[in-house]
Amino acid sequence: MEYRITAYKDCSPDDILPLYAAVGWTNYTSRPEMLMKSFEHSLCTLAAWKDRHLVGVIRAVGDGYSTVLIQDLLVHPDFQRQGIGTALLTALVERFPNVYQMALLTDDVPRSRGFYEANGFAEVSSLGCLAYVRMN
């Protein structure tokens, strides 16, 4: 499959909203203004394109030195299991080679665990850590 990974600076709701809807992330699609602001204020956003169609995106927040938090990594269902998620994750990691910690929250399902562990991430409990989150 031919696709390209690019920096994603001029985010368009016409591209982003259908992608988030396709993966069922309605917390974002029901708040499009929040989603667009989150892209505007992210540390780094990268996109995967098939021709002119947005098929995947990764978005990170943080300072880029001590912490990078991977906030979103999603690939359109029609393009999953083709290496796009790994390519997006690898491209992001390569942009911050000296960051002290790169973290993320994800669903506790075998597929997610396998994906992130295969890409060098460890569950925080294995590091003697505990994660907390407060949702509004």
Express each pLDDT in 107-122 by its tens digit.
889 999 999 999 999 9
Mean pLDDT of the chain: 93
Q: What is the pLDDT of residue 41?
A: 95
Residue type, 27: N
Q: Smallest Cα–Cα separation from 71: which of 32, 115, 38, 40?
A: 38
Portion of the chain with pLDDT greater than 90, in percent: 79
Q: What is the β-pairing status of strands 53-62 and 101-104?
A: unpaired
- pLDDT tens readout for residues 23-61: 999 888 999 999 999 999 999 999 999 998 999 999 999
* Choice between 20 and 1, residue whose per-residue pLDDT is larger: 20
Q: What is the β-pairing status of strands 67-75 and 101-104?
A: parallel
CA dist list (Å): 131 to 4, 113, 123, 124, 126: 34, 16, 10, 7, 12
Q: What is the pLDDT of residue 131?
A: 87
Does pLDDT of 1 surpass 80?
A: no
| Domains delineated in the chain | 4-105 (3.40.630.30)
Q: What is the pLDDT of residue 71?
A: 95
